[in-house]
Structure 1
Amino acid sequence: MGDREESVYQAKLAEQAERYDEMVESMKKVAGMEVELTVEERNLLSVAYKNVIGARRASWRIISSIEQKEESKGGEDKLKMIREYRQTVENELKSICNDILDVLEKYLIPASTSGESKVFYYKMKGDYHRYLAEFATGNDRKEAAENSLVAYKAASDIAMMELPPTHPIRLGLALNFSVFYYEILNSPDRACRLAKAAFDDAIAELDTLSEESYKDSTLIMQLLRDNLTLWTSDMQGDGEEQTKEALQDVEDENP
């Protein structure tokens, strides 16, 4: 077994054992070989980082919610502890995001040749800058939001040219880009327009949907529709439900 195959197998073992930090390290080794990743390798890398960042994003939301409740009570001693703890989680989030953004910039984007892989990586770049924007403030938030917007736009330009409207990666991009407009730029109208256009374009070409991507594509279309329903009711002044995004970058149906 060569170095590449060994690292991929280690990543699969780590995934089965739910040891995602080690899964990240194994896939970083593969990315650092400066080769174009296969679809399987690309998805392993995506799943690894998504789990590592997902756990911290969930922690941050919980701690922030506790902080808000404590602020309304005015408990200064507890607030100091909560804020320090939140800062610890934010430092971890920052470190993980900067890590994958560095890997994307140095290795993955330069090595990608197909339209599909370019869209996948630019979308990923947009996602991780968006995660930075979720907790950043002031100029840091502004910079993260701008970087996210540029990456999502680059992904969209390529997707419009090279991927059909029913392609799961194009749909996943539209889903996450619309969440970015809604949550980061506070622009529900643009979020709704983007999500609706992606949904309508896919519906119009449903007959072109390939059998292998049918499940992924229809799931994301459902999420787009769910968000549209939620955002529309939110704009009319009710509903505080959680917005849905692609929880895993599409095509990660690993055996």
Structure 2
Amino acid sequence: MQLCNTEDKTMAGSADEKRQTLLLRTKVAEQAEMYEDMVKCVKELAETGGKLSLEERNLLSAAYKNVVGSRRAAWRVVTALDQKKAEQEVDVSDSGRQAAKWLREKMVTDLKEFCGDVLTLIDKFLLPTAENQEAEAEVFYHKMKGDYYRYLAEISEGDEREDMVTKAKESYEKAYAKATTDLTSTHPVRLGLALNWSVFHYEIRKDGKEACRVANDAFNAALSGLDNLPEDSHKDSTVIMQLIRDNITLWTSEQENKGEN
């Protein structure tokens, strides 16, 4: 049974009633861990037009993060198996290789579909309601674009990969320019952006130095503003700061090990 159906007669009524029904179904789908249905509901909610509330933006992010995240994990597993076979670390039968190839191709197809879906949604329906109006939402959507182009860069090769890297970089830069101008250094959205922007440098661009610079700058700027942080934002901000700090420690150690070798 699908929670969201555009022809569902129970959603008849005013636009506000339809939005409330879709929002409720999105929440129920999340609680039931029916993430693909959650994506369908929140996508239709976004397509009804108008600004998304903070709660709705977070549900949008959670829906696609869960669906795309499971496929990224599967893609990494089968990619690792291919790598181990190439290094002759494991013995994989011909049928096993075919199965792994089939799953990898399926995950790539699914990832391209879902990433393309959310990118279109952002460009067509969400950014137009936020640009030059609401800084937090604008940063949020540009960051999301950067994230999903980054995911596409992970699974792409050659010119296609370079195109995804360029688009991710452009999206993160737009988000960062707006965030550093209009959001406080301790704002969770700005910190989340810094976290993912630094990961992009480290994992996609293979630039450990720039990754550490971005992470350090964000951490130090936020650290100086913690005393003035409202209590209701303190937990969210400090959790992200700890993730940034953990990455700095790991990346610095890896860079030092490379230098020794």
Q: Does TM, normalized by the shorter one, top 0.5?
A: yes
AA in 1 matched with 2:169:
L
Q: 1:147 to 1:193 in 2, by over 3 A?
A: same
Paired amino acid for 2:203: E
1:79 aligns with 2:97: yes
Corresponding residue for residue 62 of structure 1: 77
**8 Å contact kept, 1:60–1:90:** yes
Distance 1:47 1:208 in 2: 29
Shift of residue 237 of structure 1? 2.0
Is 1:92 the counterpart of 2:114 in the alignment?
Answer: no
Aligned match of 2:200: 180
Report whether the alignment pairs 1:215 with 2:230.
Answer: no
Q: CA deviation at 1:76?
A: 6.8
Match of 1:153 in 2: 173
User: 5+ residue gaps in structure 1?
Assistant: 239-255
- TM (norm. structure 2) is 0.88
What does residue 105 of structure 1 align with? 123
- Give the alignment of 1:185-204 within 5 angstroms: 185-204=205-224
Superposed CA RMSD in Å reads: 1.3
Q: Is the 8 A contact 1:104 1:121 kept in 2?
A: yes
Q: Distance in 1 between matches of 2:78 and 2:92?
A: 15
Task: Please tell me whether residue 169 in structure 1 is matched to residue 193 in structure 2.
Answer: no
% identical aligned pairs? 45
Deviation at residue 81 of structure 1 after TM alignment: 3.2
CA distance in 1, matches of 2:180, 2:143: 13
Partner letter of residue 89 of structure 1? M
Q: Could you list the per-position Cα deviations for residues 136-174 of structure 1 after superposition, in whole angstroms to 9, with x for gaps in the alignment? A: 110111000000000000000000111000000000000
**Which position in structure 2 is the counterpart of 1:31?**
46
247, 258, 261: which one pairs with 1:227? 247
**Mind listing any 5+ residue stretches in structure 2 that lack a counterpart?**
1-15
| Distance in structure 2 (CA, Å) of the matches to 1:236 and 1:216 | 31
Q: Which residue does 1:251 correspond to in 2?
A: none
1 CA distance for matches of 2:92 and 2:126? 47
1:124 maps to 144
CA distance in structure 2 between the partners assigned to 1:85 and 1:28 by the alignment: 26
AA aligned opposite 2:212: C
Q: How many residues align?
A: 238
- What is the CA distance between 1:9 and its match in structure 2? 0.2
Measured after TM superposition, the shift of residue 126 of structure 1 is: 0.3
The structure 2 residue matched to 1:12, chosen from 11, 27, 30, is: 27
* Higher normalized contact order (CA 8 Å, seq sep 6+, divided by chain length): 1
Q: Counterparts of 1:89 and 1:9 in 2: how far apart (Å)?
A: 29
The offset of 1:114, in angstroms, is 0.6
| Alpha-carbon displacement from aligned partner over 1:43-94 (angstroms, at most 9, x marks no partner) | 1111111100011011111111111112223757233432232111111111
**Secondary structure of 1:237's match?**
helix
Normalising by structure 1, we get a TM-score of 0.90
Give the Cα–Cα distance (whole angstroms) in 1 for the partners of residues 158 and 92 of structure 2: 26
Distance 1:237 1:79, change over 3 A: farther
Over 3 Å off, 4+ runs? none
Paired with 1:174 and 1:235, the residues of 2 have a C-alpha distance of: 20
Kindly indicate whether the alpha-carbon contact (under 8 Å) linking 1:115 and 1:159 is maintained by their aligned counterparts in 2: yes
1 CA distance for matches of 2:79 and 2:204? 17
2:42 aligned counterpart, secondary structure: helix
Is 10-19 or 66-75 further displaced after alignment?
66-75
Computing the radius of gyration from Cα coordinates, the structure with the larger value is 2
| Cα drift, residue 211 of structure 1 | 1.2
Contact 1:70 1:79 in 2 (8 A): no
- Letter matched to residue 155 of structure 2: F
